[in-house]
Amino acid sequence: MKRLEDYQEIVGDEVIFRIHNKMTKLYGKHVVHVNSTYQGGGVAEMLSSLVPLMNDIGLDAGWRILHGNPDFFGITKKFHNALQGDPLHFTHIKRDLYVNNNEDFSQFTHLDHDACIIHDPQPLPLVRFYKKRQPWIWRCHIDLTDPNQRLWNFLKSFILKYDLVIVSNEKYLRKDLPVKQIIIPPAIDPLSPKNKPLTEYTIQKTMKKFRVPLNKPIITQISRFDKWKDPEGVIDIYREVRKAIDCRLVLCGSMASDDPEGYKIYSKIMKKHDALIKKRELILLTTENSILVNALQRQANVVIQKSTREGFGLTVTEALWKGKPVIASNIGGIPLQIQDGESGFLIDPQDKKGTVEKVISLLKNPEMGIEMGEKGKEHVRKNFLIVRLLENYLDLLAEVIK
Ligand code: UDP
């Protein structure tokens, strides 16, 4: 069970008091979140903490998962890629399958709550299939700076039915959208299995269970096997770094049910880097396991996030919370989290040489990493913990629920 009071020591009395106070207006209101996967990826991660906390403080909050077949998720993944700038062959078949899947879901899912919060593009069209008696909020977790225009115009026809749009970053606000837009950055749960403190014994036992030897420094990137996370780029960096310092790279990426590309990318890497993998210099992990992620982030000497697009990058937040030095791309939501040279390093994802140098310098100067990690952790404590996200939702629900 999640209890707000358990966070008191981390966030302070005042925050907890404010939240209870804000609830007096909302007590007993009924809200629902809809997204498209219960595990894998940042949205599921946040909802699994946010929804129980909402219920704990007296808001009746539900969480529904959009059903879909592999064709549907194949299409929505293509849409996701196109919203982040990829070309898209936009056909009637794709459009119809996307919309019809949402209509089918609406036939067996009652959404008669005081507010409906719809996450990301997969369930976006649902709004068309209900008698809209309450505020509908579209919570977009994606980088919207350069969407495929044709797709965006099509999606807009649904977005215009919403009362409010939430984006993660000021950069994603859309001038071409008359709907009210607000910015709410994502957050992590410091008490979830993924982020809670672990004993040294648990960390070592977990590393042993997943056959990660501890005889060399570890570099890690924890991310779905997704081209925007650039796992191949991380391996390139690693190949250069190991010429200077003997170390190991662990890529940990579980498979999300709404991301059909993961296995393809994973298999390609397996084939291409067979020799390194056989020697267990490069370790690929695909198990969905929060303690594994937690232990790996704590064990790592350097955490990398070499994404080329990143709505926010919860993996960066998680690593900073563990006081780790993080080297991450200066894109999307990442610069909100890292002050370059202070609480980590921001890199240009195309700058291989510069990134290699930063990894080597952190491996050579662990005390620099410790100092950066402390600053990073404090920044997360102040800005990116789940209690702050909960408060943001209370503020906006109080505003939209009549
Ligand atoms: N994640 C995980 N296991 C993995 C890889 C990732 O649990 O093997 C989690 C990760 O810890 C984070 C989320 O998935 O909580 C990824 O969120 P992020 O915002 O970084 O990226 P997204 O996948 O949403 O694009």
Quote the ipTM score: 0.98
pLDDT score recorded for residue 325: 97
Question: Which of 39, 265, 287, 314 should be mutated for ligand 1, with most atoms under 8 A from CB?
Answer: 314
CB of 315 shorter than 6 A to ligand 1: yes
Residue-level length of the chain: 402
pLDDT score recorded for residue 355: 98
CB of 81 shorter than 6 A to ligand 1: no
CB of 293 shorter than 6 A to ligand 1: yes
CB of 42 shorter than 6 A to ligand 1: yes
What does 304-357 look like in DSSP terms, one character per residue?
A: EE--SS-SS-HHHHHHHHTT--EEEESSTTHHHH--TTTSSEEE-TT-HHHHHH
pLDDT score recorded for residue 40: 79
CB of 253 shorter than 6 A to ligand 1: yes
pLDDT score recorded for residue 77: 94
Q: Which two tokens stand for residue 208?
A: 């042993």
**Nearest-CA residue for atom 6 of ligand 1:** 223
CB of 314 shorter than 6 A to ligand 1: yes
Interval between CA 223 and ligand 1 midpoint (Å): 5
Question: Which of 46, 223, 331 should be mutated for ligand 1, with most atoms under 8 A from CB?
Answer: 223
pLDDT score recorded for residue 237: 98
pLDDT score recorded for residue 256: 80
Cα separations (Å) of 275 from 20, 206, 239, 269, 278? 56, 25, 12, 11, 5
Interval between CA 52 and ligand 1 midpoint (Å): 20
pTM: 0.94
Q: Which two tokens stand for residue 263?
A: 């296995």
Interval between CA 253 and ligand 1 midpoint (Å): 8
**Tens of each residue's pLDDT in the chain, 402 residues:** 899 999 999 999 999 999 999 999 999 999 999 999 998 788 999 999 999 999 999 999 999 999 999 999 999 999 999 998 899 999 999 999 999 999 999 999 999 999 999 999 999 999 999 999 999 999 999 999 999 999 999 999 999 999 999 999 999 999 999 999 999 999 999 999 999 999 999 999 999 999 999 999 999 999 999 999 999 999 999 999 999 999 999 999 988 877 888 999 999 999 999 999 999 999 999 999 999 999 999 999 999 999 999 999 999 999 999 999 999 999 999 999 999 999 999 999 999 999 999 999 999 999 999 999 999 999 999 999 999 999 999 999 999 998
Measured CA to CA, the distance from residue 223 to residue 319 in angstroms comes to: 12
CB of 332 shorter than 6 A to ligand 1: no
**Nearest-CA residue for atom 3 of ligand 1:** 254
Helices (H), 178-308: 200-209, 231-244, 262-272, 274-278, 290-299
Measured CA to CA, the distance from residue 290 to residue 272 in angstroms comes to: 28
CB of 262 shorter than 6 A to ligand 1: no
Strand partners, 61: 31
Question: Which of 45, 77, 188, 287 should be mutated for ligand 1, with most atoms under 8 A from CB?
Answer: 45
Instruction: Please give the domain boundaries of the chain with CATH numbers for all domains.
Output: 4-187+385-400 (3.40.50.2000), 200-383 (3.40.50.2000)
Measured CA to CA, the distance from residue 180 to residue 165 in angstroms comes to: 6
Interval between CA 134 and ligand 1 midpoint (Å): 32
Interval between CA 189 and ligand 1 midpoint (Å): 13
